[in-house]
Amino acid sequence: MRRLDNIDIRLLRVFVALADARGFAEAQIALNLSQPTLSTHLAELEKRLGGQLCHRGRQQFRLTELGQATYDATLKLFRDLDDFTQRVASATGGLSGRLRIGISDGTFTSEELGVQRAIRAFLQPGMDVFIDLSLGTPAELERQIADGERDIVIGPFSQKAPGVIYRSFASEPHLLYCGAGHPLFSKVDTAIGRKDIEDARFSVRSYRHFDDLYLVGHPRAGASVVHMEAQLMLILSGHFIGFLPCHFAERHVAEGRLRAIKPKSFGFSSVHKIAHRKVDASRVLVTAFLETARSARTTG
């Protein structure tokens, strides 16, 4: 293998994009490069490293052992480069680099949880910061922060990821809802009994499956979803009841498409945490955004 300091960083970025996309089709879109160009770049990187990085075919794209080792090492290299850029920028009084943020889906309608206000306060004119924002389930986000794929994540976490620091961020009230056309939609709360709830099809979020059932005392789930938007779709269909964040349901309630079922009996608050890895505790870009996010939430 040739000296690694002769490898073009652009080839490594192409390789990471290919690995993340698990093939050429999606990577072409992400990089805006043709498949022949991607193939040429990959072949050149393999030549410089001295081995095959992946198995590719029409139905398969899989990293080799060398490919996986290269992928992991490249991610660390990119983090180190970002850290270098941030430290140099900080020494000159500015902030620079890439900040990878992850947040639970369905939070944009919350002034407290949505990161749009924090980003608005964080980014200043002339600041050379690239924001990489992604959505995910709490379990996905905890895995990503533990693996170093995200710098900061916000969500209702189990707080089990090793090497991660969690801080309280905001609470998110939930209520049990049904949609227009559901048998319970036109019933007053006092007329809704235990059997009415048990007979209703109940949609749960897969990562809260048993918690949702226990809160209502429902015997079984009739549907399972991963994302909040999917939960809303099922409830709006008029065939399911299920929990939604109040801020997420508010507009649909006002428009007469949703109603809360016995809010005094069926409700809970989900506590969201903001988390980062312990090894990133001194990274200027991370600490700066953490401070801005907490300040934006409390002063907004």
User: 165 with 277, same domain?
Assistant: yes
Residue 192 in domain: yes
User: 105 with 156, same domain?
Assistant: yes
User: 37 with 183, same domain?
Assistant: no
Antiparallel, parallel or unpaired: β 258-260 and 152-155: unpaired
Q: Supply 52's token pair.
A: 């095959």
Question: Which pLDDT score is estimated for 79?
Answer: 77
Question: Which pLDDT score is estimated for 125?
Answer: 83
Residue 89 in domain: no
Residue 219 in domain: yes
Which residues fall within 8 angstroms of residue 49, CB to CB, at 6 or more apart? 1, 2, 7, 66, 70
Cβ pair 166, 275 in contact under 8 A: yes
* CA–CA separation, 290 and 272 (whole Å): 14
Nearest Cα residue to 169 out of 118, 211, 109:
118
* CA–CA separation, 184 and 77 (whole Å): 56
Residue 81 in domain: no
Residue 88 in domain: no
* CA–CA separation, 119 and 90 (whole Å): 19
Q: What is the pLDDT of residues 41-91, one digit of tens each?
A: 899 999 888 899 988 766 678 899 999 999 999 888 887 777 776 666 665
User: 44 with 188, same domain?
Assistant: no
Residue 90 in domain: no
Antiparallel, parallel or unpaired: β 164-179 and 152-155: unpaired
Question: Which pLDDT score is estimated for 234?
Answer: 97
User: 156 with 199, same domain?
Assistant: no
User: 143 with 282, same domain?
Assistant: yes
Q: Which residue range forms the structural domain that includes residue 31?
A: 4-72
Q: Domain with 53 in it: what CATH number? A: 1.10.10.10
Nearest Cα residue to 133 out of 98, 102, 156, 108:
102
Cβ pair 27, 66 in contact under 8 A: no
Nearest Cα residue to 20 out of 99, 162, 134, 166:
134
User: 257 with 293, same domain?
Assistant: no
Question: Which pLDDT score is estimated for 196?
Answer: 94
Q: Supply 230's token pair.
A: 């999917």
C-beta neighbour count of 234 within 10 angstroms: 20
User: 117 with 99, same domain?
Assistant: yes
Helix (H) or strand (E) holding 116: helix 116-122
* CA–CA separation, 207 and 162 (whole Å): 19
Nearest Cα residue to 276 out of 170, 149, 191, 97:
149
Number of domains in the chain: 3
User: 138 with 275, same domain?
Assistant: yes
Helix (H) or strand (E) holding 277: strand 267-277
Question: Which pLDDT score is estimated for 58?
Answer: 66
User: 162 with 178, same domain?
Assistant: no
SS3 51: coil
Residue 177 in domain: yes
User: 196 with 153, same domain?
Assistant: no
User: 235 with 254, same domain?
Assistant: yes
Rounded mean pLDDT for each run of 10 residues along the chain, 300 residues in total: 67 88 80 85 89 80 90 85 68 74 91 87 86 91 89 89 90 96 96 94 84 88 92 97 96 97 93 92 88 75
Q: Domain with 251 in it: what CATH number? A: 3.40.190.10
